């Protein structure tokens, strides 16, 4: 009899896990309370980030912490009343961002990132999904020469140690590359390896389509109804209860809601982000995504228009949207590009699922036979979905995982004290 699995969560991560399991002969039911790709995977910046070998650390310099603490910046914002709930994970995040520990996070992160282009291309090549993956890279703009120099030193380290490619541009070269920028910048780093997705939702739907064409099933259902059924697992869906031998929890920022009742409470926390699309005035074009480092927002040319995505917002899970960062970013963005009208009436909001050690949780759910984790991909879940899907499917079938899974084991959050 073929082995069977329920995959909970149909974002980029869950869809990729489901597809890889199906291709290894599993009977798979993918379950989400919404249609595939309507969580964080819907509205992100669309970057397949081959350059992102250095995960986002918690700031360690007092000046930087002070800047964020004022709560007036564009890139980071917090709801003051939510902060007590964030203290424990953020303290651990700060602890893991100390240089020696951060080096370990970089090793773990880079090992996944190195594979991201090949793993996306392995799914998309020879299919219409290829048209969504544009090989144009993206640019990070810097306002001051010292900032640019510091960034170039790190870019050079990324090239030396992790085979990341980039081109350095001074102000004039940047103006030539993107002639419709309205404001001058000291220069930019053009990361040339990354793919820029013209519609991230369409990419998730494409991979979910392959899964269903190849015999996988998708059901609407609530993951909170997960229960043990004999030696396997069952979950209620709109089409009745489904049962399978194994279950994969790929619920993004909501994963803890399902793992906690099963005895596993990872220190997962959410960083919310918003997006809005704009037209461009006149004959203006933007050739590739640009991130304005000083103000921390991304402008990406997409099917729906120029997508402005914002940095991190800390708020209680389920708290109403407060797109203050978008309101702050928009005037700066209008000074950078001749943006036209807003395309949507209401900004989109999504939640990046983050862990304090900046690494995702991929592997067995401790203490629960036949249950597996695939969540916590933070700022790079669109990038790392296919990598995670392949790795976890290989672990489940007993193959040798193509990336060593040690650094991502769920057990690392079972230990007591700050090291956990
Ligand atoms: C503004 C912004 C910009 C970003 N830019 C990038 C980028 O450029 N590149 C990149 O790689 N990453 C980017 N990210 C991060 C990326 O979007 C996430 O890491 C990724 O989408 C996480 O994928 P996921 O499948 O784990 O989670 P999700 O896509 O959130 O999927 C989880 C799914 O679980 C479902 N679910 C939750 N609870 C239940 C329940 N009880 N029952 C049933 N279903 C449930 C949800 O409906 C959802 O479909 C960005 C994120 C944001 C917010």
Mean pLDDT of the chain: 96
Band of pLDDT at residue 51, cut at 50, 70 and 90 = very high
C-alpha 312/C-alpha 175 separation (Å) is 29
What are residue 314's DSSP bridge partners? 78
Distances from the Cα of 275 to the Cαs of 35, 68, 314, 347, 393, in angstroms? Answer: 20, 21, 16, 6, 32
Q: Which of 44, 203, 268, 290 to mutate to test the pocket of ligand 1 (most atoms within 8 A of CB)?
A: 44
> Would you state the pLDDT for residue 415?
60
Q: Is the pLDDT of residue 417 over 50?
A: no
Q: What is the pLDDT of residues 105-157, one digit of tens each?
A: 999 999 999 999 999 999 999 999 999 999 999 999 999 999 999 999 999 99
Residue located via tokens 């392949």: 390
What are residue 203's DSSP bridge partners? none
Q: What is the pLDDT of residues 244-287, one digit of tens each?
A: 999 999 999 999 999 999 999 999 999 999 999 999 999 999 99
> Would you state the pLDDT for residue 1?
74
Copy the structure tokens of residue 132.
């969504």
Q: What is the pLDDT of residues 292-348, one digit of tens each?
A: 998 899 999 999 999 999 999 999 999 999 999 999 999 999 999 999 999 999 999
Contact status, residue 231 vs residue 370, Cβ threshold 8 Å = yes
Band of pLDDT at residue 418, cut at 50, 70 and 90 = very low
E strand map for 175-239: 187-191, 195-197, 217-220, 227-229, 232-237
Q: In the chain, what percentage of residues exceed pLDDT 70?
A: 99
The number of the ligand 1 atom at minimal distance from the alpha carbon of 46 is: 8
Question: In 114-246, which residue ranges form alpha helices assigned H by DSSP?
Answer: 116-124, 145-162, 171-177, 200-213
Give distance in angstroms: CA of 20 to centre of ligand 1. Answer: 18
Copy the structure tokens of residue 52.
């992102």
Give distance in angstroms: CA of 70 to centre of ligand 1. Answer: 28
Band of pLDDT at residue 175, cut at 50, 70 and 90 = very high
Q: What is the pLDDT of residues 363-376, one digit of tens each?
A: 999 999 999 999 99
Q: Which protein residue's CA is at the shortest distance from atom 2 of ligand 1? A: 44
Q: Which of 52, 117, 205, 379 to mutate to test the pocket of ligand 1 (most atoms within 8 A of CB)?
A: 379
**CB neighbour class for 415 (10 Å; exposed up to 12, middle 13-18, buried from 19):** exposed
Query: Distance between alpha carbon 72 and the CA centroid of its chain, in Å?
Result: 25
């Amino acid at each position: 009899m073929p082995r069977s699995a329920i995959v909970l969560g149909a974002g980029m991560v869950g869809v990729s896990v489901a597809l890889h399991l199906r291709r290894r002969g599993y009977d798979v039911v993918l379950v989400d309370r919404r249609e595939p790709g309507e969580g964080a995977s819907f509205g992100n910046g669309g970057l397949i980030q081959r350059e992102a070998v250095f995960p986002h650390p918690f700031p360690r310099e007092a000046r930087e912490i002070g800047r964020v603490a004022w709560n007036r910046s564009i890139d980071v914002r917090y709801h003051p009343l939510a902060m007590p709930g964030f203290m424990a994970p953020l303290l651990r995040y700060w602890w893991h961002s100390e240089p020696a520990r951060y080096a370990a996070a970089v090793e773990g992160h880079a090992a996944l990132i190195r594979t991201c282009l090949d793993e996306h291309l392995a799914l998309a090549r020879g299919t219409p999904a290829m048209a969504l993956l544009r090989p144009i890279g993206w640019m990070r703009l810097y306002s001051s020469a010292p900032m640019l120099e510091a960034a170039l030193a790190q870019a050079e380290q990324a090239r030396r140690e992790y085979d990341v490619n980039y081109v350095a541009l001074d102000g004039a070269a940047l103006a030539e590359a993107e002639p419709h920028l309205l404001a001058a910048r000291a220069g930019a780093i053009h990361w040339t390896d990354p793919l820029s997705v013209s519609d991230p939702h369409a990419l998730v739907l494409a991979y979910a389509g392959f899964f269903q064409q190849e015999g996988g099933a998708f059901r609407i259902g609530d993951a909170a109804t997960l229960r043990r059924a004999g030696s396997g697992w069952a979950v209620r869906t709109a089409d009745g209860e489904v049962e399978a031998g194994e279950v994969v929890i790929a619920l993004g920022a909501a994963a803890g809601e399902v793992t906690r009742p099963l005895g596993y409470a990872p220190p997962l926390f959410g960083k919310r982000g918003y997006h809005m699309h704009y037209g461009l005035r006149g004959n203006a074009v933007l050739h590739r995504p640009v991130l304005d480092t000083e103000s921390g927002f991304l402008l990406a040319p997409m099917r729906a228009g120029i997508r402005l995505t914002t940095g991190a917002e800390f708020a209680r899970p389920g708290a109403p949207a407060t797109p203050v960062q978008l309101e702050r970013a928009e005037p700066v963005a209008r000074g950078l590009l001749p943006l036209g009208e807003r395309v949507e009436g209401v900004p989109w909001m999504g939640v990046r699922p983050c862990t304090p050690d900046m690494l995702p949780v991929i592997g067995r759910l401790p203490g629960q036979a036949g249950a597996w984790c695939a969540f916590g991909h933070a700022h790079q879940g669109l990038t790392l979905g296919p990598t995670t899907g392949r790795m976890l499917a290989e672990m489940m079938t007993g193959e040798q995982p193509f990336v060593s899974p040690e650094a991502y084991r769920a057990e690392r959050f079972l230990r007591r004290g700050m090291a956990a």
